[in-house]
Structure 1
Amino acid sequence: MKKIALFGGGAHAKVLIDCLEQEARYEITTILDDNPSVAHLLKYDVSKRNSTHSYENEAGIISITNCAIRKKIAEALLCDFITTIHPTAIVSPYALLGVGTQVLAGAIVNTGAKVGNHCIVNTGTVVEHDCVLSDFVHLAPNTTIGGGVKIGCGTQIGIGSCVIQNITIGANVIIGAGSVVITDLPDNCTAVGVPAKPIKFHEVTC
């Protein structure tokens, strides 16, 4: 098995460790986190990242859910970023997944979907046919994305939210938990509710 480093030692890293162990293609040898209070995670030691080490040609994956931080780490390192799919997930052979992307337990990615680099398709999420997810998107657990939806870079869809078919959601958008998106949403907004509507706008991070 190829050795792999995880960048991030928080709660999401536990989920990713479980995914990688069950997938059984990689040996987790390094978990890196700058938080001095984090020394151990499950059965693994957690180390500080050496800022002068590029990790070039080493296998790695980013175990952080924050889209902007994930983007910053991905752009700073020269890792051989890997894509991981939990054994209980279903990914159509006609779907495309980018590097660094994580498809976690019970998730479904259907025919014709295109998922960008360093995306998180979290536990129990459904990405329907012909969706296009740009890089660094995070779909929180139990979200449902209808067919033909387009989601911009760095957008996060909150837990339990639904997006109806053929909607376009801009870049750097935050959708609140339990929201229902039935109209297009512009870049750089936070939207909540049923139906989801923008409640504020924020600076560009993606």
Structure 2
Amino acid sequence: MRERLIIIGASGHGRVIADIALKMNKWKEIAFLDDEKGKSSLGFDVIGKSKDFKNYIDNSEIIVGIGNNEVRQKIQSELEVLGASIPVLIHPNAVIGEEVEVGAGTVVMAGVVINCSTRIGRGCIINTSASVDHDNFIEDFVHVSPGVRLAGTVKIGRGTWLGIGSVVSNNIRVVKDCKIGAGSVVIKDIIKTGTYVGGPVRRV
């Protein structure tokens, strides 16, 4: 294990990642890369710009602390091509069931519950107090916002964003690159990419 963690992005999401890293007590040093070089964030220095990550590939673990799914995917894919060591960060107060798989670059935040036999892909955000029930499959670079509730045997397609407090009923499939509005309720499969709002959801 490498003793330094580099977080790309020093804004809100990056700071939450740093806070989780502190509580995990796994790294001796934590630092940020951000395009506003020179500032500090949560008491940690910004030691370079976002594009400088190549300089740290050989001696640090690196994670992308950017909330936008597309940007996070782009940067993490570059890291993977270069052979970077990309960790998984799980807050100590998260509850993780048996036979749960979590992909590289995914962050699981405080108060999250992930029940057994669930697979979560690479570069996902499982945000504060979200609930992911049994046998879910969350594909790569999905953002599950705070307070989201996913029932059992749900599949969420790559790059989808689930807004705060949204609910997905059991045995539902949501295709890739969708946006589900805050507080929305999904009770039928979503088979066409788009933006969906309401309860039950409608495409807008």
Please say whether Structure 1 and Structure 2 have the same fold, judged by a TM-score greater than 0.5.
yes
Confirm or deny: 8 A CA contact 1:6 1:28 kept in the other structure. no
Is 1:198 matched up with 2:203? Answer: yes
Is 1:44 matched up with 2:44? Answer: yes
Hey, what's the Cα distance between the residues in 1 that align with 2:55 and 2:45?
A: 20
Q: How many residues align?
A: 198
Unaligned runs of 5+ residues in structure 1 are 200-206
> What is the CA deviation profile of residues 79-111 of structure 1, one whole-angstrom value per residue up to 9, with x for unaligned ones?
210001101000113111111111110001100
Please name the residue that 2:8 is paired with. Answer: 7
Instruction: Calculate percent identity across the aligned residue pairs.
Output: 36
Cα distance, 1:50 vs. partner? Answer: 4.4
Larger helix proportion, structure 1 or 2? 2
Confirm or deny: 8 A CA contact 2:131 2:150 kept in the other structure. yes
Hey, what's the Cα distance between the residues in 2 that align with 1:86 and 1:29?
A: 16
Please name the residue that 2:94 is paired with. Answer: 89
TM-score by length of 1: 0.90
Cα distance, 1:34 vs. partner? Answer: 1.7
**Cα gap change, 1:34 to 1:54, in 2 (>3 Å):** same
Cα distance, 1:30 vs. partner? Answer: 2.2
> What is the CA deviation profile of residues 108-131 of structure 1, one whole-angstrom value per residue up to 9, with x for unaligned ones?
110010000111111000000000
Structure 1 segment 92-131 matched on structure 2, within 5 A: 92-131=97-136
Cα distance, 1:10 vs. partner? Answer: 0.9
Is 1:56 matched up with 2:57? Answer: yes
Please name the residue that 1:168 is paired with. Answer: 173
Cα distance, 1:35 vs. partner? Answer: 4.0
Confirm or deny: 8 A CA contact 1:172 1:187 kept in the other structure. no
2:62 is matched by which residue type in structure 1? G
Please name the residue that 1:30 is paired with. Answer: 31
Unaligned runs of 5+ residues in structure 2 are none
1:5 is matched by which residue type in structure 2? I
TM-score by length of 2: 0.91
Please name the residue that 2:70 is paired with. Answer: 68
Confirm or deny: 8 A CA contact 1:82 1:99 kept in the other structure. yes
Confirm or deny: 8 A CA contact 2:18 2:30 kept in the other structure. no
Please name the residue that 1:80 is paired with. Answer: 85
Cα distance, 1:49 vs. partner? Answer: 3.1
Cα distance, 1:60 vs. partner? Answer: 1.0
